[in-house]
Structure formats: C-alpha cells, structure tokens
A and B are shown apart, each in its own frame.
Chain A
Amino acid sequence: MLSADRLEWIEGWGEVLGGAGYVFRPSILEGIRVALREAGAGGVSVALRGTGCSYGDAALRAENIILDLSRMDRILSWDGETGIIDVEPGVTLRRLWRFVLGDGWWPPVVTGTMETSVGGCLGMNVHGKNNWARGTFGEHCLEFDLMTADGELRTVSRNDDPETFNAVIGSFGLLGVITRARLQMKKITSGLVEAKAVSAGDLETLLRLTDEAKDQWEYVVGWIDAFPRGRKLGRGLLHFARHLEPGEDAEPAQTLRAEAQDLPEDVFMMPKSAIWRLIKPFTNRLGMKWINRLKYLSGATLGEGAIYRQTFAEFSFLLDYVPNWKRIYRPGGLIQHQSFVPVDQAEAVFRRQLEACQKARLPSFLGVVKRHRPDDFLMGHGLDGFSLALDFPVIAGREGRLWQLVRTMAEDVVGAGGGF
C-alpha cells in the first residue's frame, strides 16, 4: 500500500481535470528508481509530470503515482561553441533560453509559454510557431538517457537507435523516464526578430496566407476570431517573424542579454499580475465577442502590414504576458481542442468546426492556426497540414453540450485523415 502521506490533489493546467495522486519528487536518479519500485510493488502505474503545463490529463493519473520531475532541473553540461547542452528533464524553457542566450544561442523550438519543462516538451514532442521550418522539439534532441520500468538506465541516440529514439519522444513517458536530454541549440546573432502582421478577412485567405508565408518566414502563426459567421468566418490576423541576419542588429551584445528579453512589467499601464482580474468580467460570450472583434479591427487597420522588431521572448512567449491568465476561466477552467488536418481538408474541416461551435452556442474564445510538416516520430502529430487550436471555457450546466461538440469535431478530424 502506498503511503497516504504522498497524496496530493493534482490538476491539469486547464483546471478542468484533477485527481489525487501519490506524488514523488525525486532530485536524483535513485529517487526515480524508488518511485518505479513502489509502483511495481503497489500494482499501480506511473504518470510523468514536469511543470504541469499540459491542458488536460496528460500528467495526471488519479490514485496512482505521479512522478514529478521538476526538481531534476540541473544543467549538466554546455558547449558554447557547438550549442550542445545536456540537461535534466525538469529544466524549464525559461531556464534554458536564459542560460544559452548570452553565448548567442536559442532553443530552436519553444512553446507559447516558457514555463514548460524539457522533459514535458520531449514527452509531448511539442511544436512552436516554426513547425514548418524547424519541426518539433524532438527533432533537436540528439540523445537522451532513458530509465525503463525496471530501473535500468540506457542511452538512446538518434543515430545509433533511431527506432527507440522515435518511439520514446512523444510517447507521454509511456516507455520510460527521460533523465537526461542532449539538445542542439540554434545559433543566433541577435536577440531580436523582425515580425510582420497582416490580416485575413476569411478562413480561406488566412490559410492561404499562412501557407504562402511558410517558406519565407521562420515563424508563422495565425489568430482566428471565432465569432463571425458567413463570409467573415475564420477571419483573423497573421504574424510572421524571422531571425535577424548578421549585421542587421546594431547592438547584438545588448539584445543577447537575458535581461533585455524580459517581458514588460506593465500592460496598458497596469501591473501585469492584475490584468486577468480586469479581463475576467469580460470572459463570457458577449465580452469575448467584442474583445475578438476589437482585436481584429485594430489589427486589420492600425496594424495592417506593420513590420517591427521584437525580442525573441516577446514574440515567442505570448502566453506569459498576462500571468495566471487561465484564472479568467474560473471556476470551470478551460479546455483546448487542437486538431491537425491535412492541407487539402483543412479549410473544410476548420470551417465545419467553427460553424459547429457557433451552432452549439459555444464559440471558442481563442483560436490559433499553425502550419505543420510530417516527421519520423512514432506517436507524433506531424503531418503536411494545418492545426487549429480552440480554447473553450467549461461552464457548469453546459459541460454536456461542450463534450458533445468536442466529440463531433474530433470524429470529423479523424474522418478527414487528421489527428491530435
């Protein structure tokens, strides 16, 4: 019997799903072995957890062991010449980029928040806004140490054992615990990107512009206003960005300082920690309809075609601008439905998704489009197509409708040859 002392309430990032788990937080390899041994003895399974940034239940397993690796957060080695770094799985992307930036390097793939962990990024094989150009996070991993359920430790490298390598990355930790990862960073000559914003009046235009931009810009991301119907359905704003070439940044030593990348402390002259409280009263259908509308209209007029420079952090980590923004969805929390659909089916499927949301009177409060490419991973989401991520609030009394909507959308995606 597992010790009840270890019981903790653990939630997914979206605060919709939670459960009690027996939490182990090792700081050394032997601690992981202890957890695996206890799981075997107790006949329970083990769920791996990093910083808990997965929206749903990926890092949850109620009444079983939760192996929280956030304390294994050491940088083991760093070569500033080659950009190769060895880290433990609990190292966050925040720690990673702040560490390598000063030597002129940057993680080639980052999530929309810098709070994710390297272990989590490998377990979920995450992508960034540059999925077409750079692939997934796992494509920049050279090798890792894997502890299997029997406590044995083995090194798996991309070159020597590609089959195991491609099976483990993106497998949610089902095949073992990654205890060390060797990653290749990307060389940069400036801490800035050049970005461009354009608007798209409908879904077809938005997907077409996304597709056209994918070979010209490293980073391509589209935001969708999920509220309008008819001709304006799927309208949105696109943001493209590229790294600066050598010589374009007059003061690279300045912009490559970690401090120069810090996100602004204030947003609209308010401390950013208070912003979510300001937004919360508008977190309903009417409020979000207007916020989305104003965002689109301002982007399509004032911001149309604007070319500007931003720090990497400002462009990459949009989800970190407003700390604790998920609290606007309390008490019900939020879910995200992100589907990946082949190029030729994407417009039709996404159109049906947006229409289904509207018909169910459950419009998504935030929609994001990205372009993707296939990869070699066994359990990947990679395909030659687009993804649409839709955020939904979970509201008491409407859960049944929401689950039905999500089920309908998921079946449509699978029917179109897509995935998740």
Chain B
Amino acid sequence: MKKTWQTAVVVGASSGIGAALVKRLVAQGCRVAAVARRHDELESLAVWARKAGGGGEVFPYVADVREAQSVLELFETITGDLGGLDLMIYAAGVMLPVQFEEYDTAKDLEMLQTNLSGAVAWLNPAAQRFARLKRGTIVGIGSVAGDRGRSGSPVYNTSKAGLHTYLEALRNRVARYGVKVVTIKPGFVDTAMTKDLPGLFWLISADRAAEIILAKARKGAVTAYVPARWGLVMLIIRSIPSFIFRRLKV
C-alpha cells in the first residue's frame, strides 16, 4: 500500500536544511535517523523530538561523511534500528570561503568530499536497497550554484554540478524499479552557510525550504528549484553565452 514515509535517513542533519527536514518529518510521525558530525546538535534534535510528540522519533548517529569506508556498515545498522527505510535524504554540504584567486587544494577537496563523495557513499547503498525492494525515495540537496561554473566558487559549483549529474544517473538507473530520485536546487536559504554572505535576495527560512522539499519529494519531482522562481532565474543564467558569462562578476 502507498503510505506516508514512516522511516527516513537525513545525512547532514545537525543544522540548516537538514535539521529542518528532520523536524518536519518527525512532526509527521516519521522515525528519522539523523546523521551528522556534531553530537550535541543531534542530541538537541532528539530531545526536541521527544518533547514535540507527534509520534515521530529521532535516532542520532555521529558520523563524518568524509569517511566513506564506514558508511555501508552504519547504513545497515540504521535500517535495522529504524525497522526499514522509505526516504533517504543527503543534505550534507559545505561552502568554504574562497578568495577570487585562491587555489587551496585542501579546501577544495574537502568540499568535494562532503558535497559529492559523501553523497555517493550514502546514496549508493540506498539506491541499491531501493532498487532491490522496488520502492523508496532519494532526495539530494544540490544548489542553484551547480548550474553554472562561477569564478567565485569553482569547486563548490563543481561539487553541486557533480551531485546533480550523479543524481540524474542514479534516477536513470533506478526509475525502472519505481524508485524516485529527486534533485533539489535551493536558492538562498537562511542557514549558517549563507550567514554574512553579501548580496542575498529571496532569502527563505530553512523550515520553509524543508516544507517545499518534502512536498516536491512526495510528488516525486525530478528536479525542483526551491523556491520555484529560481527555476526561471537559472534558465536565464544558463542561457548566457560563455563569452559573456566569463566577464560577469558572479
């Protein structure tokens, strides 16, 4: 029978969109595995869930998404603890400040590891499981920043573009089994990542973003800009010829 999600994993759950997603899922009665590096934030989420009622529950797991080799075992543990898995969300992401002419490989690789390699490590077993069971929904939190390569943040853009492509490929693999893979491209969301960034507009709260994301995931959307008006903006930006785009200070 088709039901609401009863079990979910949110990777990158300690703050921002990930934490907001956990709260919304718990409020809907879902058992949620919250995965992140920061123990205290996860504990706070678990305490919040116990007080909030609503039938949901938070299962906290401390893990670093950059440690791909430990994912498989933890993934199996989590599905066992939850008693199943209906929804897998990868929301972990970092955008480290990069100066215009800075070429810091360590920084760049860290972003790739968190934003892209971590996603592959976590979503691969989820996709394999869902394909085998012929059900399930995967949500990857990408970014509008992944739609073009901007001079200001080359590797952050690359990591998100890579994530989008990976999610598309995953979708093409598992769609035949009835598994949904949803690519989310948020615009500016009021989180720690965007704190103190200049020139922000159309800023929405993490909770509002989470609400839209879950609605899109429930519908089984392929790609969703959050909020939707970013779709038009990015259509225009993607249409700008390269010889013009490279002259823009973005």
B129→A396 contact, CB < 8 A: no
Min CB gap A1→B, angstroms: 5
Q: Considering the chains assembled together, what is the distance between the CA atoms of A62 and B132 in angstroms?
A: 15
Choose among A4, A16, A62, A333 the residue that contacts B83 (Cβ–Cβ < 8 A): A62
A4→B128 contact, CB < 8 A: yes
Choose among A1, A4, A20, A332 the residue that contacts B1 (Cβ–Cβ < 8 A): A332
Choose among A1, A20, A331, A332 the residue that contacts B129 (Cβ–Cβ < 8 A): A20
A331→B1 contact, CB < 8 A: yes
Which of A20, A44, A332, A394 is packed against the most chain B CB atoms within 10 Å?
Answer: A20
A7 near B: Cβ within 8 Å? yes
Choose among B76, B85, B132 the residue that contacts A1 (Cβ–Cβ < 8 A): B76
CB neighbours of B83 from chain A (8 A): 19, 62-63
B1→A394 contact, CB < 8 A: yes
A8 near B: Cβ within 8 Å? yes
B1→A19 contact, CB < 8 A: no
CB neighbours of A332 from chain B (8 A): 1
Q: Which of B65-102 contact A (CB under 8 A)?
A: 73, 76, 79-80, 82-85
Main secondary structure of the interface of B (DSSP, over half): helix
Interface residues on A, range: 20 to 34
**Residue of A with least CB distance to B2:** A331
A15 near B: Cβ within 8 Å? yes
A4→B80 contact, CB < 8 A: no
A9 near B: Cβ within 8 Å? yes
B107 near A: Cβ within 8 Å? no
B148 near A: Cβ within 8 Å? no
Interface string of A212-251 (1 = CB under 8 A from B): 0000000000000000000000000000000000000000
Which of A8, A18, A62, A332 is packed against the most chain B CB atoms within 10 Å?
Answer: A62
A9→B1 contact, CB < 8 A: no
Q: Considering the chains assembled together, what is the distance between the CA atoms of A394 and B4 in angstroms?
A: 14
**Residue of A with least CB distance to B134:** A9
A333→B1 contact, CB < 8 A: yes
Q: Considering the chains assembled together, what is the distance between the CA atoms of A178 and B218 in angstroms?
A: 43
**Residue of A with least CB distance to B1:** A333
**Residue of B with least CB distance to A64:** B80
A20→B2 contact, CB < 8 A: no
Min CB gap B36→A, angstroms: 23
**Residue of B with least CB distance to A20:** B133
CB neighbours of A44 from chain B (8 A): 80
Interface string of B31-65 (1 = CB under 8 A from A): 00000000000000000000000000000000000
B2→A9 contact, CB < 8 A: no
B79→A63 contact, CB < 8 A: yes
Q: Considering the chains assembled together, what is the distance between the CA atoms of A71 and B1 in angstroms?
A: 27
Interface string of B106-148 (1 = CB under 8 A from A): 0000000000000000000100110011110000000000000
CB neighbours of B135 from chain A (8 A): 9
**Residue of B with least CB distance to A399:** B3
CB neighbours of B128 from chain A (8 A): 4
CB neighbours of A63 from chain B (8 A): 79-80, 82-84
A4→B129 contact, CB < 8 A: yes
CB neighbours of A396 from chain B (8 A): 2-3
Choose among A1, A7, A8, A62 the residue that contacts B73 (Cβ–Cβ < 8 A): A1
A7→B129 contact, CB < 8 A: yes
Interface string of A318-350 (1 = CB under 8 A from B): 000000000000111100000000000000000
**Residue of A with least CB distance to B133:** A9
Min CB gap B174→A, angstroms: 14
Q: Considering the chains assembled together, what is the distance between the CA atoms of A418 and B138 in angstroms?
A: 46
Q: Considering the chains assembled together, what is the distance between the CA atoms of A62 and B135 in angstroms?
A: 15
CB neighbours of A20 from chain B (8 A): 79, 84-85, 129, 133
Min CB gap A55→B, angstroms: 13
CB neighbours of A18 from chain B (8 A): 1
Q: Considering the chains assembled together, what is the distance between the CA atoms of A331 and B1 in angstroms?
A: 5
Q: Considering the chains assembled together, what is the distance between the CA atoms of A166 and B104 in angstroms?
A: 73
CB neighbours of B2 from chain A (8 A): 331, 396
Can you list 19 residue pairs at the A/B interface with Cβ under 8 Å?
A1-B73, A1-B76, A4-B125, A4-B132, A8-B132, A9-B133, A9-B134, A16-B1, A18-B1, A20-B79, A20-B133, A62-B83, A62-B84, A63-B82, A63-B83, A63-B84, A331-B1, A333-B1, A394-B1
User: Can you name 11 extra interface pairs (CB under 8 A) apart from A20-B84, A331-B2?
Assistant: A1-B73, A1-B76, A4-B132, A7-B132, A9-B133, A18-B1, A19-B83, A44-B80, A330-B1, A331-B1, A332-B1
A-to-B contact residues, CB < 8 Å: 1-2, 4, 7-9, 15-16, 18-20, 44, 62-63, 330-333, 394, 396
B-to-A contact residues, CB < 8 Å: 1-3, 73, 76, 79-80, 82-85, 125, 128-129, 132-135
